Amino acid sequence: MHRTHAAVAIALSASLSTCARAHSVALSIGGPSQYSGFTCFEEGSASVARPLFSRAASSESFTVVADFLEVPINVTAGGDVLLRACMNRQCTPIPGRRSTFTIRRDAVTGNTLEELGASFARALAPWQVTANAPDSLVILRVVSTTQSPDAVLATDAGEYRRFDRASLMGCAISPPVLFDSVESTIFLALPVFGGRCTASQVELCASLAP
């Protein structure tokens, strides 16, 4: 079982409506007992399955994508309860709020999945996801893919296109959160069914909507 807690935080600012100032919210990939969502495997036997990170082996860089997803009004739980509730387009990305960050492939190194996960988190450290987080209850989803920034920012009829499944490298989501009221670190992780993090679970996370 490969769980990785990355202590390096991603920067995010949330505008405080009551006092008209911004504050930073710390986001951490994974948790003490959670899968990071970025140390997952291709489908297949554990002894032969390749890490999804290997999909970027022939690329100079890859793209990390952040979406704020609207939350179904009756859902406040995280984990697999949240994932199941968000199926069938119940959690939709807020239009115009997607952001991207490009990471050079050689910036993520390691001999184990734990080392790769920690290296990935360090590479994310300079990223400011947004200067003004939504003031409503949302889920933050972070996806890594070998697709280009232009490809993941493209829209059809105002909606972002689906991620290319074969290009996905990882995915994690936050619990439902009101960023204006956050005073502690928010952990992003991938709820895993069946005890092992695989491509199908990453695809589910990345395809919640559209």
Residue 3, pLDDT score? 42
Report which of residues 196 and 160 the model is more confident about: 160
Q: How many CA atoms lie within 13 A of 137 on its CB side?
A: 11
pLDDT single digits (tens) 103-162 = 999 998 888 777 887 888 888 888 888 877 888 888 889 999 999 999 999 999 888 999
Residue 75, pLDDT score? 56
Residue 130, pLDDT score? 81
Report which of residues 162 and 191 the model is more confident about: 162
Residue 46 CB: number of other CB atoms within 10 A? Answer: 10
Domain boundaries, the chain: 9-206
Give the pLDDT band of residue 91 (cuts 50, 70, 90).
Answer: confident
Q: Which two tokens stand for residue 31?
A: 């948790």
> Rounded distance, CA 93 to CA 139, Å?
9
Q: Is the pLDDT of residue 87 over 70?
A: no
Give the pLDDT band of residue 102 (cuts 50, 70, 90).
Answer: very high
Q: Measuring CA to CA, which residue among 39, 78, 33, 3 is closest to residue 202? A: 39
**Rounded-to-10 torsion of CA 10, 197, 207, 55:** 80
Average pLDDT rounded to a whole number, residues 192-205: 81
